[in-house]
């Protein structure tokens, strides 16, 4: 008898790379105002959110992505009290932020209310009640417009947006202008973390261009990566900081801060993981060093 179902999720990771996962159940297929939305249950990764055919995150391995996105910036900051999140509709980025007991206020702006509603109903393990936390203000708006209007500034900003796609709107949030706006919304010790796309060999353009563009604005920029199994390879993140350097934190200091502040068990991130994250392979450092592109609205970057 067959060991797995006959039904497979299929994703063109790039125009010449496909990944497929066996599927046990389809919980949702529809279209929101902004995108095609699917929630499926895979054999390997449990329940997954799919937007426009691309995996956003899966129950079984989302802890890697969300811990990697949130904790390096949060731990780097000596006392993060106010946090801004752009995107992150599943609620898991919010969940990791709220785990820091220092946090008093989180503003989360995600344009697609339908996706958040679907995730709340069908992916409860992602948000785990985070949207009900009284520290959270949730807005369904364009993040860039909101930040341009608000006078509020934050200790930490987390950008959890889809990749920049030709013809899509997200690419405007991958520009020098937007990063300048983000810097202006950070308080003195502030740190910014963002997902920067695939770091698979030969697909690193978005990541290196984001890194280079951030360097024109922030005094400290570090790119780090880790493998996200359901994304089909290693993923890049950027940490941009006004004052503190992630390379100067020892494993012991990190474990101490986690112990003092974080009110939940972490499965991915700790002091040793931090070292592994920031010591990236030579070919990726070389690609960073060669990169000269500064991303602007007139000279944008897209995934292939």
Report d(CA 290, CA 183) in Å as an integer: 25
**Distance in Å, CB of 112 to its own copies, minimum:** 13
Q: Which CB atom, from 138 or from 266, has the smaller least distance to its own copies? A: 266
**Distance in Å, CB of 139 to its own copies, minimum:** 24
- Contact residue for its own copies among 25, 117, 145, 166 (CB under 8 A): 25
**Residues of span 44-63 touching its own copies by CB under 8 A:** 44, 50, 52-53, 60-61, 63
- Contact residue for its own copies among 286, 289, 297, 299 (CB under 8 A): 286
Report d(CA 87, CA 143) in Å as an integer: 8
Q: Which CB atom, from 42 or from 175, has the smaller least distance to its own copies? A: 42
What are the phi and psi torsion angles at 181 (to 5°)? -60, -45
Report d(CA 300, CA 46) in Å as an integer: 35
Phi-psi region of 167 (alpha: psi -120 to 50; beta: other; left: phi over 0): left
144 CA to centre of own chain: 17
Residue 124 belongs to what H/E stretch? helix 124-127
**Residues of span 223-282 touching its own copies by CB under 8 A:** 226-227, 229, 232-234, 266-270, 272-282
**Residues of span 59-118 touching its own copies by CB under 8 A:** 60-61, 63-64
Selected catalytic residue, list 16, 132, 160, 267: 160
Residue environment code for 20-52, b if the CB has 16+ CB neighbours within 10 A, otherwise e: ebebeeeeeeeebeebebbbbbbeebbbbbbbe
> Contact between 35 and its own copies (CB under 8 A)?
yes
Q: Which CB atom, from 43 or from 242, has the smaller least distance to its own copies? A: 43
**Residues of span 183-202 touching its own copies by CB under 8 A:** 200-202
**160 labelled catalytic:** yes
Residues marked as catalytic: 160
């Amino acid at each position: 008898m067959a060991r797995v179902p006959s039904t497979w999720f299929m994703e063109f990771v790039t125009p010449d790379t496909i990944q497929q996962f066996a599927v046990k159940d389809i919980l949702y297929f529809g279209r929101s105002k902004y995108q095609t939305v699917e929630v499926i249950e895979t054999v390997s990764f449990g329940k997954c959110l799919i937007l426009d055919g691309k995996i956003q995150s899966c129950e079984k391995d989302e802890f890697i992505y969300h811990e990697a996105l949130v904790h390096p910036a949060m731990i780097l900051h000596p006392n993060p009290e106010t946090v801004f999140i752009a995107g992150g509709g599943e609620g898991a980025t919010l969940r990791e932020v709220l785990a820091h007991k220092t946090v008093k206020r989180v503003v989360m702006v995600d344009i697609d209310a339908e996706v958040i509603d679907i995730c709340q109903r069908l992916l409860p393990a992602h948000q785990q009640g985070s949207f009900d936390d009284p520290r959270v203000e949730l807005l369904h708006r364009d993040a860039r417009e909101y930040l341009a209007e608000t006078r509020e500034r934050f200790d930490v900003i987390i950008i959890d947006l889809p990749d920049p796609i030709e013809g899509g709107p997200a690419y405007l949030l991958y520009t020098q202008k937007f990063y300048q706006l983000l810097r202006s919304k950070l308080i003195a010790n502030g740190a910014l973390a963002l997902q920067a796309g695939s770091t698979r060999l030969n697909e690193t353009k978005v990541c290196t261009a984001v890194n280079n563009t951030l360097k024109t604005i922030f005094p400290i920029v570090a790119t780090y990566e880790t493998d996200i199994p359901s994304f089909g390879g290693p993923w890049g993140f950027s940490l941009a900081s006004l004052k503190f350097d992630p390379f100067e934190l020892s494993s012991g200091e990190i474990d101490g801060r986690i112990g003092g502040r974080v009110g939940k068990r972490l499965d991915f991130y700790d002091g040793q993981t931090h070292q592994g994250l920031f010591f990236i392979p030579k070919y990726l450092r070389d690609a960073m060093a060669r990169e000269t592109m500064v991303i602007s609205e007139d000279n944008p970057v897209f995934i292939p």
